[in-house]
Chain A
Amino acid sequence: GQQLNQSPQSMFIQEGEDVSMNCTSSSIFNTWLWYKQDPGEGPVLLIALYKAGELTSNGRLTAQFGITRKDSFLNISASIPSDVGIYFCAGQLRGSQGNLIFGKGTKLSVKP
């Protein structure tokens, strides 16, 4: 099946540092979504992107839909302890009326 390559798999950073993670694919996507999952909870939507080149912010979070439509990144600025969790990208393939494909997640740890 189609795959999204999400990297890095995990990050361990100091509070206050900026964070960057990305998802790439060899296929073209119509939609990119970024979710965060806290321990013991379901994923919660952070940012949704629907157009190539789109750059969207949500507080300290910024995500972009790559121009090639094959990638997306998520940046977190000035990280805080509550940013800890697993971040997932998800996308819908171009030309597909099908479901979202999920990356395997980036586990973020923040040291106070």
Chain B
Amino acid sequence: NAGVTQTPKFRVLKTGQSMTLLCAQDMNHEYMYWYRQDPGMGLRLIHYSVGEGTTAKGEVPDGYNVSRLKKQNFLLGLESAAPSQTSVYFCASSYDFGNTIYFGEGSWLTVV
């Protein structure tokens, strides 16, 4: 049971570089999410998707883009990384809103 998997697990970027975080779920969930976790801030929603081909902004969307071309995948992109984007990123999925969401193991991103 893979659940939610995300890659890469660790990455160091230089300011201005771009990268994409990949998320895959094998639970046939409609809803997928990207969160960031910072010390003392808890989990904050970046973007989410309610189904294939749809995306929506969360609480802290600036500086990020997402795509949901396939139901099982949700990609998070940083077009021009900034040090403020140093964080731990979690992908998650759920069957429905307000329902139990399942998290991936996290991706540690450092922007220098």
Contact = CB atoms under 8 A, between A and B. Distances in A.
Interface of A: 1, 30-31, 33, 35, 40-45, 48, 88, 90, 92, 96-100, 102-105
B42 A103 contact: yes
B40 A33 contact: no
A33 to B, nearest CB: 6
B36 to A, nearest CB: 12
**Interface on chain A toward B: helix, strand, loop, or mixed SS?**
loop
A42 B101 CA distance: 11
Contact of B105 (A35, A41, A100, A104): A41
Contact of A105 (B42, B48, B101, B104): B42
B84 interface: no
Interface residues of B, number: 23
Given A99-B58, A103-B42, A45 B100 contact: yes
A33 B92 CA distance: 14
A103 B44 CA distance: 10
A54 B90 CA distance: 29
Interface of B: 4, 33, 40-45, 48, 58-59, 90, 92, 97-106
A28 to B, nearest CB: 13
Select the residue from B43, B101, B103, B105 with max chain A CB neighbours within 10 A. Answer: B43
Given A31-B98, A92-B97, A43 B45 contact: no
A33 B44 CA distance: 16
Contact of B103 (A31, A40, A44, A104): A44
Contacts of A105: 42
B37 to A, nearest CB: 9
A1 B57 CA distance: 14
B103 A42 contact: yes
Select the residue from B42, B59, B104, B106 with max chain A CB neighbours within 10 A. Answer: B42
A42 B90 contact: yes
A104 B41 contact: yes
Nearest to B58: A99
A100 B90 contact: no
Given A41-B105, A99-B45, 9 more contacts: A42-B103, A42-B104, A45-B101, A45-B102, A88-B43, A98-B98, A99-B58, A99-B97, A102-B44
